Amino acid sequence: MAESLYEIRFRENVEKRVLCHMQLSSAQVEQLRQAIEELYYFEFVVDDLPIRGFVGYMEESGFLPHSHKIGLWTHLDFHLEFHGDRIIFANVSVRDVKPHSLDGLRPDEFLGLTHTYSVRWSETSVERRSDRRRGDDGGFFPRTLEIHWLSIINSMVLVFLLVGFVAVILMRVLRNDLARYNLDEETTSAGSGDDFDQSDNGWKIIHTDVFRFPPYRGLLCAVLGVGAQFLALGTGIIVMALLGMFNVHRHGAINSAAILLYALTCCISGYVSSHFYRQIGGERWVWNIILTTSLFSVPFFLTWSVVNSVHWANGSTQALPATTILLLLTVWLLVGFPLTVIGGIFGKNNASPFDAPCRTKNIAREIPPQPWYKSTLVHMTVGGFLPFSAISVELYYIFATVWGREQYTLYGILFFVFAILLSVGACISIALTYFQLSGEDYRWWWRSVLSVGSTGLFIFLYSVFYYARRSNMSGTVQTVEFFGYSLLTGYVFFLMLGTISFFSSLKFIRYIYVNLKMD
């Protein structure tokens, strides 16, 4: 069909030209009926202008006698407006066309179809092109831009209030703590024999344990390295979209760019992971590099293998051929893995000793019992829900673009929401870390990663809600693909936000203990 339509000449009107003849079996007609019932639509692109229309027509009456009629549009009228040598507006219509009925076909009968089309050209002013593309004249999709903007503004106001509230309260409390602790230190006799009076409590008293290195430090460094890689990857994709490097009608452009950027940014994960691993006293740096390069690639490969196998088993066109699989594997082996190793070597060689403003005692201090609201589960709930609430509106439009028939072009808003997400995650992490240290619990290393990283869990839970309430997806192929890639998406957000959360908490802890007077 596409090759025949390319034969249309500029400004040449066409009246009901035959495009092709088809013979469909009863099974093919049934597939076509199901597609029409599920509101499948087609999309053409003319000079970067989209043309969309439904595949067929469905009429259903709830009155007696009940009727359920399904028809296929076999004739399309194209209306093209031009100015000079440029197409300004493109549209397709079936207004005066009668659909071809798909009802009443016997199992052994074939359906003969003849597809035709007409083309009508008209001249218009050049100023109308931008108006048409903004959808001021109506379009195939509902106009939701105004609602989108209002939702984003509402989300931004709530986020700014939240961040401001946390920052003001936390700084006031922290300033009072520093003033009280430093005043107590000045009034304490020099020969007391112990660093602190027994009446001390809060985050000051655990200064000899707060920089005690955590268990599973290799895994922690791998999480931070891969999280830093995805932060660079996500920022790069959004910046490239802002620069207009992606055509909205080429759906695989962003996927191709993401694969290439992932391979090129592997050096970041290797450098960050190995650099911090050597700083906190890690010795098995080779194992750390292997763990870093496998932390995302192995779960991704396993998930993708299941999804692609389901596509193969069901004869789906989404299944990648063996040649493409070998090409992607070659890119990872020749580019991604070597860059991870190179980044790890540079990170190991450039690592300096860990900068801790307080010395750490050999014997760990006993942690007092903690109230329920300072537990890991509560911190994960609070730290995950607040960043998720900042992106929940934008998340709907992204899901509707990836899994629906919407088109996403507001990359400026996406960049702003991405910055808000990182800012909220950092602020919430600092607040939760302060409350944890105030309870004399110095095990903040993994807690800081899990608290805000749990946003990925909320994103996955939202995907379950979207699948059940907002989408019409069904069947094994769609279900496996949706939940498989949604699980990977939540995992990526866990890595990104866990990294932001950890380094924000680390910088905050260094700041408060540097400004604390000690013997």
SS3 of residue 113 by DSSP: strand
Q: What angle do CA 327, 332, 336 make, to 5 degrees?
A: 145
First to last CA, the chain: 82
Tokens 């059940």 sit on residue: 468
Question: Are the C-beta atoms of residues 406 and 383 closer than 8 Å to each other?
Answer: no
Give CA separation, 389 vs 11, 154, 182, 395, 503, in Å. 51, 11, 38, 10, 22
> What is the C-alpha to C-alpha distance for residues 12 and 408, in angstroms, rounded to an integer?
33
With left for phi above 0 and alpha for psi between -120 and 50, is residue 8 left, alpha or beta?
A: beta
> What is the C-alpha to C-alpha distance for residues 140 and 366, in angstroms, rounded to an integer?
65
Question: Are the C-beta atoms of residues 351 and 274 closer than 8 Å to each other?
Answer: yes
> What is the C-alpha to C-alpha distance for residues 489 and 395, in angstroms, rounded to an integer?
12
- Would you state the structure tokens that stand for residue 51, as one six-digit string? 């043309």
What pTM does this model have? 0.76
CB atoms within 10 A of CB 273: 34
> What is the C-alpha to C-alpha distance for residues 513 and 387, in angstroms, rounded to an integer?
27
Question: Are the C-beta atoms of residues 451 and 429 closer than 8 Å to each other?
Answer: yes
Q: For the residues of 399-411, what is the DSSP string, one character each?
A: HHHHHSS-----H
Tell me the Cα Rg of the chain. Answer: 30
Tokens 């109506």 sit on residue: 138
SS3 of residue 76 by DSSP: strand
Tokens 């949706």 sit on residue: 482
Question: Are the C-beta atoms of residues 104 and 8 closer than 8 Å to each other?
Answer: no
For residue 348, which of 412, 253, 271, 414 has the smallest C-alpha distance? 271
Question: Are the C-beta atoms of residues 226 and 292 closer than 8 Å to each other?
Answer: yes
> What is the C-alpha to C-alpha distance for residues 505 and 437, in angstroms, rounded to an integer?
11
Question: Are the C-beta atoms of residues 314 and 303 closer than 8 Å to each other?
Answer: no
For residue 194, which of 203, 182, 185 has the smallest C-alpha distance? 185
pLDDT tens, residue order, the chain (519 aa): 444 454 556 667 888 888 888 888 888 888 888 888 877 888 887 877 778 888 888 876 555 455 678 888 888 888 888 877 778 888 888 877 888 888 877 777 888 888 888 888 888 776 555 454 444 444 555 555 555 666 677 667 767 777 777 777 677 776 776 676 666 656 654 444 444 444 445 778 888 888 999 999 999 999 999 999 999 999 999 999 888 887 665 667 888 889 899 999 999 999 999 999 999 988 888 999 999 999 999 999 999 989 988 988 888 777 777 788 888 888 888 988 999 999 999 999 988 888 888 888 888 888 888 888 889 999 999 999 988 988 888 888 888 888 876 677 778 888 888 988 998 899 889 889 988 998 888 999 999 999 999 999 999 999 999 998 888 787 888 899 999 999 999 999 999 999 999 999 999 898 888 876 654
Q: What is the dihedral of CA 232, 238, 242, 243, to 10 degrees?
A: 50
> What is the C-alpha to C-alpha distance for residues 307 and 301, in angstroms, rounded to an integer?
10
Question: Are the C-beta atoms of residues 12 and 121 closer than 8 Å to each other?
Answer: yes
In degrees rounded to 5, what are phi and psi of residue 169?
-60, -45
- Would you state the structure tokens that stand for residue 338, as one six-digit string? 């070597």
